[in-house]
Structure 1
Amino acid sequence: MLLQELLGINEEIYFVEESYLAQRSIERTLQYLNGIRNFSGEQLRLLRVREGKHTLGLLLFNPADEDVPVDFWSVFTGALAASPLKNEFEALVDSLLTFNLPEKDIEMSSESWRNAVNEYYSLMLVNRNLCPGCAVRPEPYSCIFSENRVQRVAGIFDILQKKGFYPEGRLLEVCCGNGMSTLALYRLGLDPLAVEINKCAVCQGLEQGVLNPQRAMVMDATVLSRYFEPGSFDTVMGFMLGLVYEFNKQLWTGIMREAVSVAGEDALLLFTVSSKPEIEILAEALLRAGVKGEIVDNTDSEGTYDQWFFVGRKEST
């Protein structure tokens, strides 16, 4: 596991928060740390992970006992939390470290730390630790992924280059499903953070080795701004969104607004669908949200995937 490699430890690790999304509110983290701060027993074994003066994570050693037969480290982090909670986390850690010097004080970039956190929850998901009683069995790769579909997505980027567009910087792919389109992005040398609300789809992409466990997560695209700060991404993409109809367009226009809200100034936005009416709904929402762009006809004889797309840039405010 990446985190164990980065920290140079062999024992098991367990994050106290039950999911990646819970890392935004860190309720358990703050509760447990307050309890530890008031602990008056023996000296604690701690590891601190920091970026400069800011604490990214704190690990507490738990020796084996009758209930848990192996040694392990509990992992606390406020790095993904909203700013006020992040500050509260760091203050709690500082108070703990006043009386318990860490065994290791490890310097790490926030990006490396986030990747390690992502990987932990991805592995928990694919190992069925987040889905007790799951009866879904892995399917053969050939039954799930289509090379034609991957090539279809790749072809869009040939069109983009001719129009003077190309993804760069910090990339976000929304509604990634099991990673069919993400696979095309990887082959193009792109490294998006891929999010999808359907955890079974994410699990499928992970167990097939398609989705990168460090860069994939279960997340609702309708609430992106709850978990990412404004301007977090230079490119936001989504492939074969839908189905987008009049009766559910409020859902999809909301996702478009959320995508724009986490995109930086002049960020590239790219979304594909299967029909012209669908892309017109998305385009209207994007234009209203401050994106300048165009609808592109990408129809072919099969008439199925990525037939229409919108590409544009977020205008400066």
Structure 2
Amino acid sequence: MKVADILEVDGCRLVEPSFAELTADACTALLFRAAPDEARLLVDEEEEPLALALHDGEGWHAVSFLFREPTLAAIECFEAVGGEIYQENRETWLSAVREYYSTELLATVVPALEDLRPDRTGMIRDLLDEVWGDRAGTPCLDCCCGSGVGTAALRAGGVRALAYDNDPSLLALGLSKGRLVPSDTMCIDAREAARYIAPVPLGAAFMAGEIYSYNAGLWESILTGFLALTDETLITVGTEAEAARVEGWCTGNGRDAEVFENRRDPLYDRWCCVARRA
């Protein structure tokens, strides 16, 4: 469903400039720049606020409380206008918000040049069959998804992949090619993923890095945060040395880890680390 459909309005703008800024408390004040004549408060299954939408001379505008608490000023504004209360499942609203920002990104960002080798999706699909077998219907994170090569392979196996990356041009490419699904894609800093994502059973990070000594701290932060969100995790890298480093991070975070060589792909996913909760 679309944001406007859930709120039953004819078009609605979310005031947060980006999906990543849905955590920013300061964004709530952006809603109160004009005098509203209508208001709608959206609550979830537990009757906790999800969003506040206000109507003024320029149309409907809304703020989302998915990742932050509503302010007293927001509630008082709603009560002063005498607005209506709507209810929706939290996951449905979250999917609609992801779709909103993905659609906006696709409309405003020039996609990167195509980066998909024609045979890579099939090679990833074969690797997933070897590591996980049939996991159709299981939620999975695609960490640092890039243009969605891995996401497409995951979905081809029936896995629901929730993808995230911080490169808008690569995300725009994946969205434009249909490898990424707007309602399941986020442009966020992977180090902050836990602020936006609940834990799921599976996780994959295809071609994580290139990991060197100078950027190892960055990748350790990304991947250890990723491990905390997943029960079974597949991480692929280009070299054996990178795989050994990733294995150390996995075991250091209490995971059983296995490293093996994937001879299907000599470039991108040559070395794999599979980590599971001990």
TM over 0.5: yes
Check the 8 A contact 1:236/1:270 in 2, yes or no: yes
Rounded to whole Å, the distance in 1 between the matches of 2:202 and 2:41 is 33
How far residue 95 of structure 1 moved from its aligned partner, in angstroms, is 2.6
Counterpart check, 1:108 vs 2:71 = no
Check the 8 A contact 1:17/1:26 in 2, yes or no: no
Counterpart check, 1:121 vs 2:101 = yes
Rounded to whole Å, the distance in 2 between the matches of 1:232 and 1:158 is 22
Counterpart check, 1:50 vs 2:21 = no
Rounded to whole Å, the distance in 1 between the matches of 2:135 and 2:257 is 14
Check the 8 A contact 2:9/2:60 in 1, yes or no: no
Rounded to whole Å, the distance in 2 between the matches of 1:180 and 1:32 is 37
Distance 1:183 1:297, change over 3 A: same
How far residue 306 of structure 1 moved from its aligned partner, in angstroms, is 1.4
Residues 242-253 of structure 1 correspond to what in structure 2 (within 5 A)? 242-253=209-220
How far residue 63 of structure 1 moved from its aligned partner, in angstroms, is 2.3
Deviations 1:166-186 (A, max 9, x none): 587542211100111111111
**Structure 1 unmatched runs, 5+:** 65-71
Rounded to whole Å, the distance in 2 between the matches of 1:278 and 1:168 is 31
For the residue of structure 2 that corresponds to 1:192, the secondary structure is strand
Distance 1:166 1:53, change over 3 A: same
For the residue of structure 2 that corresponds to 1:184, the secondary structure is helix
TM-score normalised to structure 1 length: 0.79
Rounded to whole Å, the distance in 2 between the matches of 1:298 and 1:28 is 46
Q: Which one has the largest radius of gyration?
A: 1
Counterpart check, 1:193 vs 2:162 = yes
Rounded to whole Å, the distance in 2 between the matches of 1:255 and 1:138 is 23
Deviations 1:45-84 (A, max 9, x none): 01221113211011111224xxxxxxx2101111122xxx
Distance 1:256 1:47, change over 3 A: same
Check the 8 A contact 2:112/2:173 in 1, yes or no: yes
Distance 1:280 1:168, change over 3 A: farther
Rounded to whole Å, the distance in 1 between the matches of 2:75 and 2:101 is 26
Q: What letter corresponds to residue 79 of structure 1 in structure 2? A: L
Check the 8 A contact 1:56/1:77 in 2, yes or no: yes
**Alignment match, 1:7:** 7
How far residue 285 of structure 1 moved from its aligned partner, in angstroms, is 0.7
How far residue 234 of structure 1 moved from its aligned partner, in angstroms, is 2.5
Deviations 1:214-256 (A, max 9, x none): 111111212324x247x63322220011112233222222222
Distance 1:137 1:232, change over 3 A: closer
Given candidates 210, 226, 237, the residue that maps to 1:259 is 226
Rounded to whole Å, the distance in 2 between the matches of 1:180 and 1:157 is 13
For the residue of structure 2 that corresponds to 1:214, the secondary structure is helix
**Alignment match, 2:233:** 269
Distance 1:224 1:167, change over 3 A: farther
Rounded to whole Å, the distance in 1 between the matches of 2:254 and 2:203 is 14
Deviations 1:116-175 (A, max 9, x none): 1111111111111xx5xxxx4676xxx54334100111111221246xx95875422111
Structure 1 stretches (4+) deviating beyond 6 angstroms? none
Check the 8 A contact 1:61/1:74 in 2, yes or no: yes
Given candidates 67, 73, 76, the residue that maps to 2:60 is 73
Deviates most, 144-153 or 278-287:
144-153
Deviates most, 245-254 or 187-196:
245-254
**Alignment match, 1:67:** none
How far residue 91 of structure 1 moved from its aligned partner, in angstroms, is 4.1
Given candidates 80, 91, 97, the residue that maps to 1:99 is 80
For the residue of structure 1 that corresponds to 2:224, the secondary structure is helix
**Alignment match, 1:62:** 56
**Structure 2 unmatched runs, 5+:** none
Rounded to whole Å, the distance in 1 between the matches of 2:171 and 2:186 is 7
Q: What letter corresponds to residue 235 of structure 2 in structure 1? A: F
The number of residue pairs the alignment matches comes to: 277
Check the 8 A contact 1:26/1:78 in 2, yes or no: no
**Alignment match, 1:178:** 147
Given candidates 265, 273, 276, the residue that maps to 1:310 is 273
Counterpart check, 1:145 vs 2:116 = yes
Check the 8 A contact 1:2/1:119 in 2, yes or no: yes
